[in-house]
Structure 1
Amino acid sequence: MDLLFKTAEAADLPQIIRLLADDALGQGREDFQLPLPEAYISAFEKIDADPSQELIAVTNLEGDLVGTMQLSYIQYLTYQGGVRAQIEAVRIRREDRGKGFGKLMFQWAIELSKQKGAHLVQLTTDKKRPEAVKFYESLGFMPTHEGMKLHL
């Protein structure tokens, strides 16, 4: 079960957007079509240029994209000027779900976050995904805060 982790490239973007759109929540908020809408290309360029952001493409040994995630490193004043890592947009290709790839991806992301000097790794998950909450708790994440959003 070997996986390769790399910083996503522009050529990976269509497959990444396809992954983001391939679930019940993503179908309602993503717009996967080819060619990709310009908004995705612009967002990718901004993420790629920002040293505090990492869009990760996860492939199998054959080079097929099997997963993706975005890591953000947030510098703040509390915790004596600490850095926290935020994990977002985790997706695994439908046919590869249940194979343990998610656990490997999180282990990799947590180790990278340590190397980047983060003292804390955080994530949010939609309350409509109770199976995701159980998975994150199995990895040691604890529901310590109540998240809130204001859509603009």
Structure 2
Amino acid sequence: MTDFAIRRATADDLPAIVAMLADDPLGARQESPDDPAPYRAAFERLDRDPNQRLVVAVQDGRTVGTLQLTMIPGLSRRGATRSIIEGVRIHADVRGGGLGTQLIEWAIEESRRAGCALVQLTSDATRTDAHRFYERLGFEASHLGFKLPLD
């Protein structure tokens, strides 16, 4: 397994992050890498929010992975805080080298440090390889999710 440095994302990381978000058939339909304005605005909101951790994985000075970890305080589960892992992406050049595992393990440990009782994530129904990956890491498909686009 190759070592990667995981650190908080900066505005300078945005082009690489957006490129990874758009680098598959699903992302290509949802993302607009040629228009950085909405991504900059979203980054500023995330960066100010203490419940958000947008991180990147860097190898040899190059951004090659990312994920967003969100902490959500709640009333259910006896007032438990949960975390949600979103936007996990690994650059095509380094997939299969252990980075995805390192990022998810980082997110789990960060969730523990933050006092979370539960880590959850969603994955598009078409991402069957990702589903197997998450199950190998101990996640269970426990709920049926629903979405309602508002645009």
Name the TM-score class by shorter chain.
over 0.9
Question: CA-to-partner distance for each residue in 1:61-101, whole Å, 9 max, x for gaps?
Answer: x1111100000000001112111010000000011011111
Partner of 1:20: 21
Partner of 1:93: 91
> Residues 66-145 of structure 1 correspond to what in structure 2 (within 5 A)?
66-145=64-143
**Matched residue pairs, number?**
149
Question: Does residue 37 of the first structure (1) align with residue 36 of the second (2)?
Answer: yes
Query: What is the CA–CA distance in structure 1 between the aligned matches of 2:137 and 2:36, rounded to whole Å?
Result: 35
Q: CA deviation at 1:2?
A: 1.1
TM-score normalized by structure 1?
0.95
Query: What is the CA–CA distance in structure 2 between the aligned matches of 1:109 and 1:3, rounded to whole Å?
Result: 14
Query: What is the CA–CA distance in structure 2 between the aligned matches of 1:115 and 1:94, rounded to whole Å?
Result: 30
Which 4+ stretches in 1 moved above 2 angstroms? none
Partner of 2:3: 2
In structure 2, give the amino acid aligned to 1:59.
V
Query: What is the CA–CA distance in structure 1 between the aligned matches of 2:66 and 2:36, rounded to whole Å?
Result: 19
Q: SS of 2:149's equivalent?
A: coil
In structure 2, give the amino acid aligned to 1:53.
Q
Q: SS of 2:6's equivalent?
A: strand
- Gaps of at least 5 residues in structure 2 are none
Query: What is the identity percentage for the equivalent residue pairs of Structure 1 and Structure 2?
Result: 46
TM-score normalized by structure 2?
0.96
Q: SS of 2:57's equivalent?
A: strand
Query: What is the CA–CA distance in structure 2 between the aligned matches of 1:73 and 1:146, rounded to whole Å?
Result: 21
In structure 2, give the amino acid aligned to 1:19.
M
- Gaps of at least 5 residues in structure 1 are none
In structure 2, give the amino acid aligned to 1:16.
I
Q: CA deviation at 1:37?
A: 2.8
